[in-house]
Amino acid sequence: MSLEDNTAVDLYDIVLLLNYERATTDPRFRHAKLREVTKTDFTTFLVLRERLPVWFLRSNKIGWAFDTKTPPASRRDEPDLPSNMVLIPTPDLLRSLTPKELETYFWQVRCHDGCFTAICLVQEFFDLFPKTTRLQVRLVQNNKPKVFDVLADNRVILEFELVDPNLLTLSIVAPGGMSHIGGGQDSMPHSVLGFRSEQEGDAHDQTPDFDAILDMSSLQFGDAGRGFRGKGLFVLEPEKDYAARLKTFAKGNDFVDAQLSLRIRNPLTDQKAWLQDVAVRAKARWERRHENPFCGYCGAPKASKRCALCKSTYYCDEAHQSGAWSFHKHFCKPTTQ
């Protein structure tokens, strides 16, 4: 949660909430339980060569197979989490997976093809606020904290192509064999949000020069998409740092020539009702953040482990506190209260 009561809505904290509510209820993988991970060929699921030939041609790849079973009515509202994503009893193929690997796979699968979904979600969220709402942007630049405020609507969408992606991913969800494949083409579209401090001018200026780039779906690229110092679950960083990061996503990109726009005019109509629901839940949780603190690493509710220094940021457990520390330490304000 935010470090103190500010009139500005904190972007970092809002992304925690939006990503958590989105990932834990993603309709594509709702109640899906992992039964196989492979970097070669599946052994528990038949993949037809004529259906997905690219899967058999690429060497740098990773695939996941899921079973979906409707839980009892009493458990249908439970969120999907890294901690409950594996079939019970655990298949032998998955027994050696570490908690970090499970976390990476969870977010990697649910961030697949998620850049435009995330931007639509941001739109739906801030449509619930007055136009005068201000946004606090926190990031680390040159190993120093940087904070600036802007109007929440003072953001720009950057759309560009990633050329020759470095990794092919494939998720298969049974029953039905629904497949989600990414990175198998010569290029793939990607999109992020850009923010410019008001001291530097209007973020709506049509120039690709931004103080901060937000990529909420960066973990679709695996650990290469983790946030500051390879720890976070999304990316919020200076443009120069993000441009360098893109080299780990694909062999090339046209980020410097990104197409700029202010709003996605034709939102994902098949997901609009779900995204609106996610936005409403996130807003309600933001407004109740003092009564029900959320985790400063993953955005989960009912976080109970409080930072001993600032006493205002909470975490699920020591692992999440440790994962957030490389970022949080730059903004932690010790208190004697």
Q: Do strands 9-10 and 134-141 pair parallel, antiparallel, or not at all (unpaired)? A: parallel
Please tell me what DSSP assigns to residue 71: P
First-residue to last-residue Cα distance in the chain? 17
Write down the pLDDT at residue 270.
77
What's the whole-model pTM score?
A: 0.93
Q: Report the alpha-carbon distance of residue 54 to residue 153 in Å, rounded.
A: 40
Q: What pLDDT sits at residue 1?
A: 38
**pLDDT value at residue 39:** 95
**Which tens digits make up the pLDDT trace of 285-294?**
999 999 999 9
Q: How far apart are CA 269 and CA 325, in angstroms?
A: 38
Q: Are 171 and 180 within 8 A, CB to CB? A: yes
pLDDT of amino acid 336: 64
Residue written as tokens 């038949």?
A: 46
pLDDT of residue 3: 38
Q: Across 59-143, where does the E strand assignment appear? A: 61-68, 134-141
Closest C-alpha among 110, 112, 124 to residue 269: 124
Rounded Cα distance between 119 and 85, Å, is 26
Give Dmax (Cα) for the chain: 65
Which portions of the chain are predicted below pLDDT 70? 1-7, 199-208, 266-268, 336-337
Predicted local distance difference test score (pLDDT) of residue 49: 85
pLDDT, residue 51, reads 82
Q: Pairing relation of β-strands 155-165 and 134-141?
A: unpaired
The tens digit of pLDDT for each residue in 162-189 reads 999 999 999 999 998 889 999 988 999 9
Report yes or no: 208 and 135 within 8 Å, Cβ to Cβ.
no
Is 86 in contact with 102 (CB distance < 8 Å)?
Answer: yes
Dist CA 108 CA 212 (whole Å): 23
Burial of 257 (0-12, 13-18, 19+ CB in 10 A): exposed
